[in-house]
Amino acid sequence: MANDSSVTNPRVGFSLGEPGGIGPQLLLSFLGNEAWQESFIPIVFGPRRAIEKWRAYLNLRTLRYHAIQHPTEARPQQINLIECGELGDFTIGKPSEAGGKAARLAFKASVAEAAAGHLDLLVTLPVDKSTFYDPTHFPYRGHTEYLRAAFPEHFLLMVMVEERLRVALLTEHLPLRQVAETLTQDLLRRGLATLHQALRQDFALPAPRIAVLGLNPHAGDGGIIGQEEIHLLPVLHEAWEKGILVSGFFSSDGFFAAGKYRNVEAVLALYHDQGLIPFKLLAGWEGFQYTAGLPFVRTAPDHGVAYDKAGKEEVDLSSLSAAVWEGLGIWRRRQAAQLSAT
């Protein structure tokens, strides 16, 4: 529970993301169903203008919200808004420079409150990297890069989660030509340790099995198609000796085609598309994103701004719902572990 909370239900913060994207539509549609009212207290970080325009567009004028200055003021059974940034007019279904700035401000404010212990779960809605990124004021390609810079004492991993499948990414938004030189033994060692700890702590798996994918075609074919796997292999042996049930390296195509992911609790991919392509093919919008290694719980939908869908049709709430309800499950498991340790 947030350390200053006097209420029973956890506080869930939502950073609104790109105002012209699908995030606000997802959130208001989700909160328009009153099923959440007995389970958590929502606190939205974002510009009032975005909420007002989307509320009118979706004909949700009866959806009420309460403006507050701090999470401790949040009211149960109500939507609470902490206004972040000024926003003029914007177009639903299109990005804008002002929208990107508002998304940055909302995200940074929500992270600060989560880090201070004022939120129990932070759910971040999709942003547009073309407007979210600012080389002068915000030199980060996405949420995880900023979190990594904000919490340098923690090793963070982006993990995609679905009921049947968990895929962690050792590297994320890197050009392919930079991936091989980035894959050091220390990076793999720290990634395995973080993933193993997260599976034990946040998913209550006492002896999780982890499969590691290879970098090269056929996982290098014993060095015939690249030496990276040979160089990294001692880390897998070392991890096994420490009690981490790790296996690899696996050729990604054969691993997923043969359904071997069903035999493990998590897969560690070495680069972005290697993990996300099979995950999204298998999970669709049923999964969610989770950041392992953070001192608080942060989740997100497993898709982007989807301008082509924003405002045009009834949206699929599966991924956002998973991010919220499964995120609260992770928070509860952390609470239970803390209680058992005292």
Name the token pair of 43.
């606190």
Q: For the structural domain made of 155-293, what CATH number should be given?
A: 3.40.718.10
Cα distance between residue 335 and residue 338, in whole Å: 5
Q: What is the tens place of the pLDDT at every residue in 56-96?
A: 999 998 889 999 999 999 999 999 999 998 888 899 999 99
From its phi and psi, is residue 70 left (phi > 0), alpha (psi between -120 and 50) or beta? beta
Which DSSP symbol is given to 212?
A: E
Distance set, CA 318 to CA 27, 54, 219, 280, 314 (Å): 12, 20, 34, 13, 12
Kindly report, residue by residue over 184-213, the tens digit of the pLDDT: 999 999 999 999 999 999 999 999 999 999
Does the pLDDT at position 304 exceed 50? Answer: yes
pLDDT value at residue 340: 79
- In 90-204, which ranges are E strands? 121-124, 157-162, 165-169
> Is the CB of residue 330 less than 8 Å from the CB of residue 154?
no
**Domain(s) of CATH 3.40.718.10: residues in the chain:** 1-151+294-333, 155-293
Tell me which fold the domain 1-151+294-333 belongs to: Isopropylmalate Dehydrogenase (3.40.718)
